[in-house]
Amino acid sequence: MRNVITIARKELQSYFASPIAYVVIGFFALLFGYFFASLIYWFEQQSLQMTPGSGPPLNINQALIGPVFMNVSVIVLFVMPMITMRTYAEEKRSGTMELLLTSPLTDVQIILGKFLGALGLYAVMLAVTLIHVGVLFLYGNPEWKPVATVYLGLLLMGACFISAGLFISSLTKNQIVAGMVTFAVFLLLWVINWLGQSFGPTGQAVISHLSITEHLDDFARGIIDTKHVIYYLSFIVFGLFLTAKSVDSERWRG
């Protein structure tokens, strides 16, 4: 465990030593701020137009927080490749992989360390949004439970992207290639939903089950369904398993 933490710390340190962390967080904060502001504006318009007594008042959770965080999943799609692309590719290119693989560490410790490091940066990124949410709590009275579950959902969803990103990065020495392939794969996992609609009801059910973002819906409604949690966890484990296989086969090939 000490080794895992050492690696994770080193990963986090290297994100913040290079511009990556700042670019990622800045980009994320900017887009999030934009979505947030425009949804607030829309929410305000809707509320003002409603005449009192014409129906239930707009629910801030359903009408604002839910949609905002669904947008977050799109932003994550764009920034996550920047976080994961260098994890393995850069170590292989610069030769530091030789240091890691000749140290008394297991492959699993290295993989988990890198995974937690990336997850740490992602968590910092999400933490930026706490400011916006704080404002909502200050001036409105949203329910806290759906807010908490949406963060849990986002964390799980991000972890899936990270484990897939680690695997892709482990396949190449070139971090740019890793980044682009990762982005393409994430995009595919995202649009797969739309494709599903052309396959009829069963096709859609199957395909939307595969889509990473689709599983986020219930979390945004304040529901923690084990079905979704298990989906995310198995996705993560599978990604990390593939990474381990990839590192090991690279070692045999030399």
Tell me the torsion sign for CA atoms 98, 240, 181, 26. Answer: negative
Residue in the structure block whose two tokens are 């629910």: 59
Report the residue from 138, 139, 141, 252 that binds another protein according to the rule CB under 8 A.
252
Nearer to another protein, 99 or 131 (CB): 99
Question: In angstroms, rounded to a whole number, what is the distance separating the alpha carbons of residues 123 and 83?
Answer: 12
Residues 91-130 that bind another protein (CB under 8 A): 94-106
Count CB atoms within 10 A of the CB of residue 134: 10
Nearer to another protein, 2 or 201 (CB): 2
Question: In angstroms, rounded to a whole number, what is the distance separating the alpha carbons of residues 187 and 20?
Answer: 21
Tokens of 63: 């009408």
Size of the site for another protein (CB under 8 A): 26
Nearer to another protein, 145 or 251 (CB): 251
| Contact map string, positions 50 to 89, toward another protein, x by CB under 8 A | ----------------------------------------
Count CB atoms within 10 A of the CB of residue 163: 24
Nearer to another protein, 59 or 106 (CB): 106
Could you say whether residue 251 binds another protein (CB under 8 A)? yes
Could you say whether residue 10 binds another protein (CB under 8 A)? yes
The burial class, CB within 10 Å (0-12 / 13-18 / 19+), for 210 is middle
Nearer to another protein, 49 or 102 (CB): 102
H helical segments located in the chain? 2-17, 20-49, 60, 66-84, 86-94, 96-101, 107-139, 144-169, 175-196, 200-210, 216-220, 226-253
Nearer to another protein, 10 or 221 (CB): 10
Could you say whether residue 145 binds another protein (CB under 8 A)? no
Could you say whether residue 46 binds another protein (CB under 8 A)? no
Report the residue from 7, 21, 60, 136 that binds another protein according to the rule CB under 8 A.
7
Q: Which residues bind another protein (CB under 8 A)?
A: 2-3, 6-7, 10, 13-14, 17-18, 94-106, 251-254
